[in-house]
Amino acid sequence: MTAASRATLLLVDDDELIADTLSYALAGDFEVITAATRAQAREALLRAAAPPSVALVDLGLPPSPHQPHEGFALIEDLLAFDHGMKVLVLSGQDERGNVQHALTLGAVDFVAKPCDPELLRARLRHQLRLREIERTRAGVADELLLGTSPSMVALRALIAQFAETPFPVLVEGESGSGKELVARALHAASRRGPLLTLNCAAFSPDLLEAQLFGHARGAFTGADKARAGFFEDANGGTLVLDEVGEMPLDLQSKFLRVLEGGEFYRIGETEPRRSSARIVAATNRELRELARSGAFRQDLFHRLSVLTLSVPPLRSRGDDWRLLLDALQRQYAGSIKPFTLAADADALLAGYAFPGNVRELRNLVIRLGARYPGQVVDAARLAPELELDYATPPAPQGMNLRARLEQPGFRLDQELAALERGYIEAALALGHGNLSKAARLLGVNRTTLYSRLGRLGLAPPDS
């Protein structure tokens, strides 16, 4: 296999012997880039000609190699840099909680050390095949925007309503909820030109400015030729700025000028240029709070948020997860034989918080399909794949709560009943149908739980 045909693999491990051994073992299949720390991994991403297709990371990294926190943070960094990157964890810190949290964050697999190099190679190749399937179906955004929940019906209606307007659109939502799909759907429903995406968190401030505005020849060290920026290349089309909340303050003022008049300057030039690119800004942060704290310009926030699309978290979308699960099984049917959920597994997922949102569900479908192809998956098989001790975050004071209140037909009683039903069903699944165990998990007595089952129309289990 030639270097040109090999996929790039980012290997992050502070053990030099392990890094050298794996680099040698995998060199026939991958162009391997190594890093020993989270900071070195970020630098390697910036230097790479293209984002790595796959990453293999240890959880225990300096400065705290006996704790998993740096590894968890790196998983988030890598997926912020490229949502499509396949991140696998290779670590000796394979306690169940670490495995579950890594998978919730978006890792697609967890391999315990020590590992068989051939098994590791096979799992990496498997993820490459899945990545290729996803890339070939990248235009099928509608399938993962499906759903019958009121929040998704309203979101699709707003996408259609905003599609032809020339104004900026702010797409808000939690990590993994599908903001990039929403941006693509918004562009697809318009009649604009090219669609380009730039991740603001993936570049240093100086590099981000050059990426956005372009530069003249000799504008800075290494600028051996003039280069157009994303504003210029996206002229007449759509420019998606992902993680816009990470844009440095001094760059925000220049960005604001483009939004207000379409005018910008390449770095090192004095002649203004113009762009009619439609800006779609995406963020998983509360820009309103950032603006109040001074970390984001107030005027830029108000300019961006004239039209806002709030992507709901999967846990607030009712039974949409079932539609998504079926769609994902269809998507991967060529590589993974579909599985079937048993009734207790279905109940467990119905009450699960999905902290990693749609991305977590996608990776769950891949793992279950690989481990139980064509089989029935019950709660005992499913539970180890979920982060069941995840605490559902409190109702946000910003984007999601406001969006829900503004949706047609909102009823507080229905919202609270759905939340209560989810917790009760999850507790019953964890307690294997035992009413007393479920009551203890919920912090109520058995009689109270029995009466709530009746009020919600849930059949009490035999216990």
Higher pLDDT, 210 or 395: 210
Q: What is the pLDDT of residues 69-99, one digit of tens each?
A: 999 999 988 988 888 899 999 999 989 889 9
305 and 182, same domain (yes or no): yes
20 and 61, same domain (yes or no): yes
Task: Specify the pLDDT at position 399.
Answer: 43
Q: Is residue 64 part of a domain?
A: yes
Nearest to 321 by CA among 457, 159, 185, 146: 146
- Residues 6 or more apart whose CB falls under 8 angstroms from that of 161 comprise none
268 and 364, same domain (yes or no): no
272 and 381, same domain (yes or no): no
Q: Is residue 265 part of a domain?
A: yes
In this predicted structure, the answer to whether residue 326 has a pLDDT above a threshold of 70 is yes
281 and 189, same domain (yes or no): yes
64 and 205, same domain (yes or no): no
Task: Specify the pLDDT at position 5.
Answer: 67
Model confidence band, residue 432 (pLDDT cutoffs 50, 70, 90)? confident
Taking residues 28-54, report their average pLDDT.
91
- Name the least confident of 15-24, 284-293, 310-319, 383-392: 383-392
268 and 178, same domain (yes or no): yes
Residue 38, amino acid: R
247 and 262, same domain (yes or no): yes
- Name the least confident of 63-72, 149-158, 409-418: 409-418
Residue 184, amino acid: R
355 and 417, same domain (yes or no): no
Q: 79 — alpha (psi -120 to 50), left (phi > 0) or beta?
A: alpha
Task: Specify the pLDDT at position 139.
Answer: 46
Q: How many domains does the chain have?
A: 4
Q: Copy the structure tokens of residue 186.
A: 């918004």
| C-alpha to C-alpha distance for 339 and 280, rounded to whole angstroms | 37
Model confidence band, residue 29 (pLDDT cutoffs 50, 70, 90)? very high
124 and 165, same domain (yes or no): no
160 and 225, same domain (yes or no): yes
Strand partners, 238: 195, 278
145 and 126, same domain (yes or no): no
Which of 101, 136, 171 is at the close of a domain?
A: 136
3-state secondary structure of 160: helix
Q: Is residue 404 part of a domain?
A: no
Taking residues 266-281, report their average pLDDT.
95
Higher pLDDT, 122 or 398: 122
Task: Specify the pLDDT at position 439.
Answer: 83
Task: Specify the pLDDT at position 140.
Answer: 45
Assign residue 214 the CATH number of its domain. 3.40.50.300
Query: pTM for this one?
Result: 0.74
Q: Is residue 244 part of a domain?
A: yes
Q: Is residue 290 part of a domain?
A: yes
Task: Specify the pLDDT at position 215.
Answer: 94
Assign residue 415 the CATH number of its domain. 1.10.10
Assign residue 41 the CATH number of its domain. 3.40.50.2300
Backbone angles phi, psi at 169, to 5 degrees: -125, 135
Q: Is residue 113 part of a domain?
A: yes
Provide the domain limits for residue 430.
Answer: 411-456
In this predicted structure, the answer to whether residue 3 has a pLDDT above a threshold of 90 is no
Task: Specify the pLDDT at position 408.
Answer: 56
Q: What is the pLDDT of residues 214-238, one digit of tens each?
A: 999 988 888 889 999 999 999 999 9
Nearest to 83 by CA among 194, 177, 189, 193: 177
Name the strands in the sheet holding 278-283, side by side, starting at the edge strand that comes first in the sequence. 195-199, 238-242, 278-283, 169-172, 307-310
In this predicted structure, the answer to whether residue 54 has a pLDDT above a threshold of 60 is yes
In this predicted structure, the answer to whether residue 15 has a pLDDT above a threshold of 90 is yes
In this predicted structure, the answer to whether residue 429 has a pLDDT above a threshold of 80 is no
Q: Is residue 316 part of a domain?
A: no
Round the average pLDDT of the chain to a whole number and report it: 87
Q: Is residue 92 part of a domain?
A: yes
Q: What is the pLDDT of residues 149-206, one digit of tens each?
A: 999 999 999 999 999 999 999 999 999 999 999 999 999 999 899 999 999 988 888 8
- Residues 6 or more apart whose CB falls under 8 angstroms from that of 339 comprise 329, 368, 369, 372, 373, 374, 375, 376, 377
Higher pLDDT, 220 or 339: 339
